[in-house]
Structure 1
Amino acid sequence: MATPDAHLPYQVPIDGYARGAFHFAGMASAGSVLALPSGIHAWAPTTPAEIDSGALERVLAEAVRIELLLIGTGMDPWPLPDALRWRLRDAGISVDTLPTRAAASTYNVLLAEGRAVAAALLALP
């Protein structure tokens, strides 16, 4: 089903990730992605330094449907700036940052358990 903003309009597990792409629901998406209750969306950031409240605007818009946001930070760990952590907490969202592989795996487990989880995943090189 095609959508105006080129996203998959429902939430699914991440089947794989490598070389700048994520695989899900028999499709592939180049670049970073947001996995939200509203579906899988392309996401502009390519480095942790680009992750700010503007980059997470769509996450914040869906806050009532998200308990936990997992941020996949690429190959390396990255400490979330306190201001952004508090912005998400004020919206009722707990957050954890992990390298992308760990974030995608954890997202899949929690999604399978029926948890209100979302993921913001930076593509791997």
Structure 2
Amino acid sequence: MAKGIIIRDAHFPGRAQIDTYGNGGFRFADMSHKGSLMLLPSGIHGWDVNEGDVLTVASLERILDQAAEIEFLLVGTGKELVRIPNDVKEALRAAGIGSDPMSTGAAVRTYNVMLAEERAVAAVLMAV
């Protein structure tokens, strides 16, 4: 039996507002996370996409798997607004999910408001 540190995928099993962001990570639910996040109805997950990466359908697989529970996806693209590629936008539309790209800061603020309104929202946030 091997001993040592076991590294698991970052996951918070619930919904929570984002308290702060910056310095390459986020704070929420009295915890901090270094890196990007995917905020879903099923919980908050670490997301292996960084500012400057091109968004792909594969990087949003978890979102598409939970499409029945999501009406709208906020895409925090980092410090600057970056368009969602057409194939990604079409895959989201086909799954019945509206989407809007914006800076990560704007996405955090919008997500917190929509979560407080109990909307069927999800977000992907590239760390800044």
Q: Name the TM-score, length of structure 1 as normaliser.
A: 0.93
Other-structure match for 1:108? 112
Q: What is the aligned-residue identity percentage?
A: 47
Q: What is the TM-score normalised by the length of structure 2? A: 0.91
Larger radius of gyration: 2
1:57 paired with 2:86, answer: no
- Partners in 2 of 1:49 and 1:22 — Cα distance? 19
Partner of 1:55, secondary structure, is: helix
Greater than 6 Å deviation, 4+ residue runs? none
Q: C-alpha separation between the residues in 2 aligned to 1:63 and 1:32?
A: 20
1:47 maps to which residue?
A: 51
RMSD, aligned CA: 1.0
| Aligned-partner Cα distance in 1 for 2:73–2:37 | 13
Query: Which sections of structure 2, spanning at least 5 residues, go unmatched?
Result: 1-7
Flag the structure with higher strand content: 2
From 12, 17, 20, give the equivalent of 1:13: 17
Unaligned 5+ residue runs, structure 1?
Answer: none
